[in-house]
Structure 1
Amino acid sequence: MKKFFLSQVALVAFSLLLIGCSSDDNDPIDVSDDVDPVDSVITGQITEDITLTNDVIWTLDGRVTVVDGVTLTIDPGTIIKALPGQEANASVLIIARGGKIQANGTSSAPIIFTSSTDNIELGQTAGTNLDENDRGLWGGVIVLGRARASLSGDAPENQIEGIPASDTNGLYGGTNDADDSGAMNYVSIRHGGTLIGEGNEINGLTLGGVGSGTTISNIEVVGNVDDGIEWFGGAVNSSNLLVWAQGDDGLDIDEAYSGTISNSLVIAGDVSDHALEIDGPAGSFQAAFEIDGLTLIGNTTTENGEYADFRDGALGTVRNVYATGFKASADVELDNNEVSQNFLDGLITFENWVLNGADNTIFVEKVACIENCDDNDPNNDVTEEIIILDPTFTERAANWTTTGTSGGANTGVFSWTYASAKGAF
């Protein structure tokens, strides 16, 4: 097994690799001439440009970081298997601010991130021993940039969740909304979400302060413990996204993300929570997202399976949605007076929702507890008052909802995915 320890500990060995694999110190490293078709291990910091080729199954060992000024290129059809790691050292790929990933797969040769226990082999797009219910077997993929995020206290930057505060490569945020972190296209991320601390898991794909110069398209996340994909601020546009059987939320927006998410499909699993969880700005900077073209497929067995939760001053638009298969108690909720006021002010809007097996009554205004909230006696709670009246939020939802059996995303673009091969939709 050939190991690449891309860290200061192995700087000398890595320098020899550079000499052997490239005639020009400025050229990316093409390791294909220097490896046998057996597993190769990557660990630590990647401090020079490197290309992962599809004739090798690569192993991600621990926290692997592409640092500022370095590009990681991944060829179409490449398989990366990740070891589980432990807690803060869970196996995860981080693209730090100023680093880049160029992971451009194709529909016939997607790039696959999966667990080291997956028996998938070279040339395959799926193994046989794992399914969508195998979660938390490694970390996930984190891309960080220098675009704006609305942070608590108007801080200029923040540490991304899932990465220890001592690792400054986990910082995101800045002032460049056009920041370029590279491209991810036709990438499948499977079986991630390792628990790194109490209530703290890694998302399948985390995008923190990622700018609009970055390409995020044709992404699949399957069987992640936490959220499928989460945006923390940033302005990157994201298209053709599929999330299946996540343990928490399908698509999660925070900190004034201002991009557009187009043509997405979220398929609930047996333990999934909300298909959408939308939070607003944490600081004074405000910006609005747009979701356009979305299909939500629920099920009747998920205990907490809901359509969507809008919280904490959410700002944005959700249009052209088709939803089917949810249990009768599932809802689209405005969580408190703050987000309800945003709705009244036209800052959160809904357009063209087609519902199969439901109607406008799924849209519900809720109120927050404001006093006696932690005394373990719900009868003693003092709550806000409903503020959307005459007509109510539910009544107004009749303006943007219809019943039907089609609409939302163009699901035909997901024929390349693992979820499609397994008949998930």
Structure 2
Amino acid sequence: MKKINFLPIIALLAVFITACSGDDNNNGPIDDDNGDDGNSVEKSGILTEDEHWTADKVYLLEGKVVVDEGVTLTIDPGTIIKGKPGQESQASALVVDQGGKLMAEGTANDPIIFTAEADNIQPGELSGSNLDQNDIGLWGGVIVLGKAPISFSGDSQTGQIEGIPPSETFGKYGGTDPEDNSGSLKYISIRHGGITIGQDNEINGLTLGGVGSGTTIENIEVVANQDDGIEWFGGTVNVTNALVWAQGDDGFDTDEGWSGTLDNGVVIMGSESGTGLEMDGPAGTTKHPNPAQQHTLKNITLVGAGTSSKYADLRDGLLVNLENVFAYGFGESATVKINGEDSRDELANDNIIFSNWEIVLPEGAAIADIIVGKKPDPNDPDKEIDMEITAEKFTDNAKGVETGTVGANTSVFDWTYASGMGVEF
């Protein structure tokens, strides 16, 4: 297990190159060779037949490219997929609809790379030369939608995923099949996404909506996403070996009663990042005990950017196990926030569980300073006030250290773009 002290992130000196995009609609698939070398293939609309994307081509996503129900998209190791910029409803993304499958199995030597059209990376390369971790929101992202249970507002079995307007024929997620299978995602790097589609509405690097445990997701990297790195909306899928670097909002974000496990994860905060871990409770009715709505994050390393202010924000009465977490490089006022009275109650009832936390404390800080309780001010909903919590549930299971002995096995991320850029974690 590789453990080193926080070092400044080394970035490439880059010149940002902007690329233009048309506003084609999504009425059906387009398959046009785009470029004099014949190596560029444009994709748009709904894929109604099985497709196989190969590493000798660069695939350009024009708007939403949707893997339809009953369709399998297979992507070979080393394949590069680029998203065009289009704003709001024209934002580009790869969407795996309910009943569709994505078989995208890269390798450590030949990862599958999703990036922006502006990226000058070419087939056979692991990175381009003109973008870095500061180039965010240049396209959408990857969205996988399944039929596993969710806890949705109003106790509906299904919902419409954020980032896709309700007017679209795709975007539904959730159901009654916890073992639903949306395919296999291995050794995938997703870069420069999270384009804004509306007020306070961006696309995550990887969105998992109601994804079932029959789906395989491992060795995933998200870099420079404008919104969250990876966000789970319910479902039962397990994820192994996930790294997020320089996200604009949260690293790992959980919602709507996700009941899977993230094992071995790293969040490397950038200067504009929000929270390392943001976790919300079930949006529908909660009955206790209900282990089917409790998720686990274990073997996690959180790397601050010096001024980062939140290790974790635990909200809306979530149910979670947080095991073997190592954090360093955060600001002196950084906190683990128990957010709201419902989360306070879950902490007291041992439905929020901390185990083996180690933190390299900022100068002058103590473990007791890390855990805080906040609730809305009844006299001003835009403000928060302090709230008494059972802080010992955290302080008895966390300690200050100089070097971590828990956290992620970071050696498994040697294949990533972040590692190649010299980021220390």
TM score, norm. by length of structure 2: 0.88
Q: Which amino acid is the alignment partner of residue 411 of structure 1?
A: T
Deviation string 1:348-390 (CA, Å, 9 cap, x unpaired) is 100001111354224323231252224x7x6xx8x585243xx
Deviation string 1:219-256 (CA, Å, 9 cap, x unpaired) is 00000000000000000000100000000000000001
Aligned to 1:424: 423
What is the distance in 2 between the residues matched to 1:7 and 1:350? 46
What does residue range 113-192 of structure 1 map to in structure 2 within 5 Å?
A: 113-192=114-193
Q: For residue 326 of structure 2, give the secondary structure of its aligned residue in structure 1.
A: strand
Change (3 A) 1:205 1:177: same
Change (3 A) 1:46 1:9: closer
Q: For residue 396 of structure 2, give the secondary structure of its aligned residue in structure 1.
A: helix
Q: For residue 119 of structure 1, give the secondary structure of its aligned residue in structure 2.
A: coil
Q: For residue 226 of structure 2, give the secondary structure of its aligned residue in structure 1.
A: coil
Aligned to 1:23: none
Aligned to 2:69: 68
- TM-aligned CA deviation for residue 301 of structure 1: 3.8
What is the distance in 1 between the residues matched to 2:389 and 2:81? 51
Tell me which structure has the larger Cα radius of gyration.
1
Gaps of 5+ in 2: 1-23
- TM-aligned CA deviation for residue 299 of structure 1: 1.6
Change (3 A) 1:134 1:402: same
**Structure 1 position 324 matched with structure 2 position 323:** no
Identity of matched residues, %:
49
What does residue range 255-274 of structure 1 map to in structure 2 within 5 Å?
A: 255-274=256-275
Aligned to 1:341: 345
Spell out structure 1 runs of 4+ moving beyond 3 A.
5-10
What is the distance in 1 between the residues matched to 2:325 and 2:389? 26
**Structure 1 position 233 matched with structure 2 position 239:** no
**Structure 1 position 297 matched with structure 2 position 297:** no
Q: Which amino acid is the alignment partner of residue 335 of structure 1?
A: N
What is the distance in 2 between the residues matched to 1:207 and 1:105? 19
- TM-aligned CA deviation for residue 193 of structure 1: 0.5
Is the CA contact (8 Å cut-off) linking 2:28 and 2:44 kept in structure 1?
A: no
Is the CA contact (8 Å cut-off) linking 1:239 and 1:261 kept in structure 2?
A: yes
Count how many residue pairs are aligned between Structure 1 and Structure 2: 390
Aligned to 1:83: 84
Is the CA contact (8 Å cut-off) linking 2:218 and 2:241 kept in structure 1?
A: yes
What is the distance in 1 between the residues matched to 2:213 and 2:307? 38
- TM-aligned CA deviation for residue 401 of structure 1: 2.6
- TM-aligned CA deviation for residue 8 of structure 1: 5.7
Q: For residue 334 of structure 2, give the secondary structure of its aligned residue in structure 1.
A: coil
- TM-aligned CA deviation for residue 396 of structure 1: 4.9
Change (3 A) 1:301 1:386: closer
Is the CA contact (8 Å cut-off) linking 1:225 and 1:246 kept in structure 2?
A: yes
What is the distance in 1 between the residues matched to 2:249 and 2:386? 27
Gaps of 5+ in 1: 18-30
**Structure 1 position 366 matched with structure 2 position 373:** yes
Name the structure where helix makes up a greater proportion of residues. 1
What is the distance in 2 between the residues matched to 1:233 and 1:9? 30
TM score, norm. by length of structure 1: 0.88
What is the distance in 2 between the residues matched to 1:86 and 1:395? 45
Aligned to 1:309: 313
Aligned to 1:99: 100
Deviation string 1:383-416 (CA, Å, 9 cap, x unpaired) is 585243xxxx058513333424122000000000
Greater RCO structure (CA 8 Å; 6+ sep): 2
Change (3 A) 1:125 1:387: closer
What is the distance in 1 between the residues matched to 2:257 and 2:170? 22
Change (3 A) 1:217 1:344: same
Q: Which amino acid is the alignment partner of residue 361 of structure 1?
A: A
Deviation string 1:196-237 (CA, Å, 9 cap, x unpaired) is 001100000000000000011000000000000000000000
